[in-house]
Structure 1
Amino acid sequence: MDAPVETLTLRDPQMLLAQTLRGWSPADDLWVFGYASLIWRPEFDADEQRAAAVHGWHRALRMRSRINRGTPERPGLVFALVSGGSCRGVVYRIERSRAERELERLWAREMPTGVYDPRWLACRTPQGTVRALGFTLDRASPAHTGEIAEVEMLEILRHARGRYGSTLDYLLETAACLRSRGIRDREIERLERLARTLKTA
């Protein structure tokens, strides 16, 4: 999950927040699912975190980033949760007395343009299943790239850089964080091998 991510198509973030809040009771603690930068840079205070797996969604480096990890002239990429497969990550629990305040901070980071489709996901943890907020991306979204040819991916990794750094650094940071937590992601490992060719080219 990665922020703020931008797209040319803007949706009202506050309307999406109101819709999302209808699926959560303020009497409950808030759970949030992290799958990329929310693992290595969550920027909110959690009362608990657990390893978790989501089925029906997978982590994919398929979201265009025109500011944070690229520019409008040379867009970069960030990870998103896209339908299909499964994804291992981390769930964070935020105690209900602080949940609305922390959710507002999270929303400002993840949803400044309303690019994601927030969903309540069933996340399996060693202690049982929890219902957590996850930031997904519709394949029909203009921010979704679809399949990316290897030569195009190399060009992005070689050149795309935005206000928070390069797409390459973002990929490698995510890969290192997942590895430190014992999370295998074959697609990320493939992209890491591809990135290493940049150093030998």
Structure 2
Amino acid sequence: MATDSEDRWVFGYGSLMWRPGFPFIERRTAVLHGRRRAFCIYSVHHRGTYERPGLVLGLAPGGAVRGAAYRVAGSAWPEVYDYLREREQPTETYFEAWSEVRIDGNGRAPALVFLSDRNHGQWAGALTLDQQCELIAGATGLSGRNIDYLRDLVLHLREDGVRDHAMETLLKMVEAREAVA
């Protein structure tokens, strides 16, 4: 584990990629092996409510996920860590882990990652695209509309050179559903 003066890495695979909200020294693309990005968490806070849950991303087992790694100065770490816990854990659907990520141009390093808790009541598991569409379309929470989260994901993945055809298809499905609603 790093000392108080050592820099640390944070890995983001969803909104942390485009809206980290904390000070960092550098941002690099990175890959985490053994997990994949998926809409597998019912959102009752940021993108939905208890009455009308939406979906947010989690890291489901298997595969690999390309995201962003942020290097945080050791001196800023306590505040950044507090911020991340408040942001990522409103209903404790994730658990923290230090996982090795491959950071472009920087080799491998341990990074703080928020992993999906498959034993939590908000774990949605493997949903079909139709089921994901049904949950995302029309859902809104404290952080806004669920479709906006999906749209931001697709746009920012493209900016990072990642084409996720399943997410792009899902976005088209949700846009079509909301257009007739």
TM-score by length of 1: 0.82
- SS in structure 2 opposite 1:68? coil
2:93 counterpart residue number: 115
Over residues 104-151 of structure 1, what are the superposed CA-to-partner deviations in whole Å (9 max), with x where a residue is unaligned?
112111123322111111111222111100001032321111222444
- SS in structure 2 opposite 1:172? helix
Residue 73, structure 1, aligned to residue 51, structure 2: yes
Contact 2:44 2:53 in 1 (8 A): yes
Structure with the higher strand share, 1 or 2: 2
- TM superposition shift of 1:195: 2.4
Let me know the Cα RMSD of the aligned residues. Answer: 1.8
- Distance in 2 (alpha carbons) for counterparts of 1:92 and 1:43: 11
**Runs of 4+ more than 4 Å apart:** none
- TM superposition shift of 1:191: 1.3
Contact 1:82 1:138 in 2 (8 A): no
Q: Where does the alignment leave 5 or more consecutive residues of structure 1 unmatched? A: 1-22
- TM superposition shift of 1:52: 0.3
- Distance in 2 (alpha carbons) for counterparts of 1:140 and 1:115: 9
Matched residue type, 1:42: P
Matched residue type, 2:115: T
- Distance in 2 (alpha carbons) for counterparts of 1:149 and 1:90: 26
Contact 1:89 1:183 in 2 (8 A): no
Aligned length: 179
How does 1:40-59 map onto structure 2 within 5 Å?
Answer: 40-59=18-37
- Distance in 2 (alpha carbons) for counterparts of 1:66 and 1:199: 20
Contact 2:39 2:132 in 1 (8 A): no
Contact 1:69 1:165 in 2 (8 A): yes
Matched residue type, 1:129: R
Matched residue type, 1:189: E
- TM superposition shift of 1:175: 0.8
Over residues 158-178 of structure 1, what are the superposed CA-to-partner deviations in whole Å (9 max), with x where a residue is unaligned?
221112111111101111011
Given candidates 84, 89, 104, the residue that maps to 2:62 is 84
- SS in structure 1 opposite 2:137? helix
1:106 counterpart residue number: 84
* % identical aligned pairs: 37
Q: Where does the alignment leave 5 or more consecutive residues of structure 2 unmatched? A: none
Q: Which moved more, 1:117-126 or 1:180-189?
A: 180-189
